[in-house]
Chain A
C-alpha cells in the first residue's frame, strides 16, 4: 500500500480536502447562474411549453389527433414511454447495482444519474396517461372500492403490472435519492449564508447532525435500498417487455424480450448519463470529479451492453428463422426491408456499429467524440423501440388489414415536450441541489493517495467485551444547544 506504484489511480483529482469538496459542489448553488444556464433553461422551457400545448390540445380533442389507425394502435406514445423508462434504468444501475458491486467511482455520478432516473420516469409516466385518451380516469388503474360493483382491476393484465411496476420504481427511486440527499442538505444548512436556503435545507435535512449512530443505521438503510432497487430495476423493464411479449403479434411474442429490454434500457440510459455528464462537467467545472476514469468506465459498460443488444437482434432473427413460423419470419424480413427498413438501419447503425468505436482508447479519451457517440446511441435506442412497436404492428397477419403509420405534428410536439420537461427538471436540479453526493465523495478522497494524517501507528482495536460494546449505543442522546446558526449556543 505504501508503494505509490501499487496505488489505484485517485477517483477525485486535485488532491482535494473534504472542505474543498463542499466548496466546489456548493459553488454551483451559491453563485448566480451563468448565461449559458439561463439560455439552456429558456430553450428547455420553450420545448416544455410546446409539449404542454400539444398535450392540452390532444386531451381536449381526443387522441384522433395522433397518426394511429386500427392496425397501428401503439406508436409514438408507447415508443416514448419505453424510451424514457429505459433512460431511467441506468440511474438505478449506477446508484444501486454499482454500489452493491463496490464500484466506488460511482460516487461522482450517482446523484445526477438518480436525478435523471426520476425525471425520466416522470416523462415516461405521462405517455400511458395521455394514451388513455381520458386521463382524468387514470385513477381507474388503482384497485379502490368503487360504486361499480366494486369492479376490480384485472391483475392478469400486463398493463396493470406495468402501472404497479412504474409506480413502485418511481417511489423507490425518489426515496433512495432523497435518503442520499439528507446528509448533503445538512451540509448546505450549516454553511449557507442565505436565511431562506438555510431554512429550506434545514427542513429537508430532517435534523441530521452527523451522529455516528445515525450514520451506522443510515449505511444499513442505504444497502437495503440498493438491494431492493437492484431486482426492482430488472423487474420494471421485464414487465414493460411483457406488455408486448404476452400478446400474439409476430415480432412481439417472444421469450427473449425481458433480457433484451433490460440490456437495451441500461444501454440507452448509460448513453444519456454520458450525454448529461459530459456537459455538466464542463459547464459546472466538475472536471476533477468526473474524470477520464469515470467516462472510460461508462464507455466500457456501453460496449458491453451494446454487445448484449446486438446479440439480442441476432437472436431474434435466428429464432424467427428457426421457428418455421411464416408470420414470424415475415415480421423480421419486413422489419429489415419493409417500409420502415430505414428505421431498422438507423437502429443497427447507432446501437451496434457506432459504439464499437469505443473499443479504442483514443476515442474513449476524446470527450467530444464520446459525446457525439452518446447522442447517436440515444437516437438509436429511440428508433429501436419505434421499430419494435411499429414494424411489428403495421403488417401482422391479414394483408387486408395492413397499414402504414406517419406521426402527426402533435405527436412530434409531444415527444419534444417530453425532452423539454426532462431538461427543465435537470437544469433546475443542477442549480438547486448538490449535483455530486458530497458525503459520499468525501469518503473516497483518500483512494489512490498517500496515507496522510496520523503519523503514529493506530492503536489496536480493543477486544470488545459484551458490556463495552453497548456503551455507545446505550448512552442517552446528547442534547446540544439548538440554534439557527447550527453552532454552539
Chain B
C-alpha cells in the first residue's frame, strides 16, 4: 500500500517543536520525525510512549545473575568441590563479585541487542533517509495525507508559519 505523505524540513529544534504541536492540535497524522539529535521535549510533543527496554534490562539482569550464581554454586560445591583453605563449599559471599559483574554484562548486552532488534538496526542495513541533511542539521516532519479532507495548501501554510525550510509532497514507495 502506498501512502501520500508530506515532508516538511525545519532548521531548528524550536521550529519543529512548534510544528509538531501545531500538527497534533490540527489532528494531522504524524508518521515520524527525523532529527539529527535528540531534542528537548520532542518525545512528549510527539506523544511517544515510554520505551519498555528497561524491562528487558531488568529481567536480563535478574536472569543473568541467577544463572551465574547457580553456576558458581554448582561448580564449587557440586561438580568438583575443591578445598581452598578450609572455606565452605558454598562460599556465597565470595560468589557475589562475579555474580554482580555477570549481571551487569548480561543486562547491558541484552538491552543493546533488544534495541537493535526492535529498531531493526543491523550492520550494513541499506540507508533510507527522508531528505539529505537529516543527520546533519535538518529536522524532517512526515505527515500522512490521510483522507480526502486533507487540505495540502492549508497544511503547507501551517508549516510555513512554523518556519519550515522546504516542503515536499511524495508518494511513498513500497
Contact = CB atoms under 8 A, between A and B. Distances in A.
A281 interface: no
B170 to A, nearest CB: 8
Contacts of B47: 462, 464, 468-472
Interface of B: 5, 11-15, 17-18, 21-22, 24-25, 29-40, 42-51, 53-54, 57, 71-72, 75-76, 79-80, 82, 84, 87, 91, 94-95, 97-98, 100-102, 104-105, 107-109, 111-112, 115-116, 118-137, 142, 144, 161-163, 168, 170, 172-174
Nearest to A220: B51
A49 B161 CA distance: 63
A238 to B, nearest CB: 8
Main secondary structure of the interface of A (DSSP, over half): helix
B97 A152 contact: no
Contact of B97 (A164, A202, A206, A225): A164
A36 interface: no
A152 B76 CA distance: 8
A206 B122 CA distance: 5
A124 B51 CA distance: 37
A204 interface: yes
24 contacts: A143-B75, A175-B112, A176-B108, A210-B35, A210-B36, A210-B129, A212-B32, A214-B121, A215-B38, A224-B107, A235-B101, A235-B104, A443-B38, A453-B11, A453-B163, A456-B162, A460-B25, A462-B47, A473-B49, A478-B130, A479-B173, A480-B173, A486-B127, A489-B173
Contacts of B137: 17-19, 22, 442
Contact of A479 (B104, B119, B144, B172): B172
A189 B108 contact: no
Interface stretch (A87-95, A154-162, A261-269): A154-162
Interface stretch (A110-118, A165-173, A301-309, A389-397): A165-173
Given A172-B104, A451-B14, A472-B30, A155 B130 contact: no
Contact of B36 (A216, A225, A442): A442
A10 B135 CA distance: 23
Contacts of A470: 47, 49
Contacts of B142: 478
Interface string A477-489: 1111111111111
A206 B54 CA distance: 22
Given A190-B134, A443-B38, A461-B45, 10 more contacts: A19-B136, A19-B137, A155-B72, A167-B105, A207-B126, A213-B119, A216-B43, A217-B51, A231-B104, A486-B127
**Interface residue tally on A, bucketed by range:** 35 or more
A155 B173 contact: no
Given A150-B79, A486-B129, A221 B21 contact: no
Contacts of A232: 101, 104
A14 B135 CA distance: 22
A156 B97 CA distance: 10
Nearest to B45: A461
Contacts of A202: 124, 127
A480 B79 CA distance: 56
A161 B97 contact: yes
Contact of B108 (A158, A172, A183, A204): A172
Which residue of B37, B46, B134, B162 has the most chain A CB atoms within 10 A of its CB atom? B37
B126 A210 contact: no
Contacts of B108: 171-172, 175-176, 224-225, 228-229
Given A225-B108, A459-B25, A480-B173, A213 B57 contact: no
A11 interface: no
A152 to B, nearest CB: 4
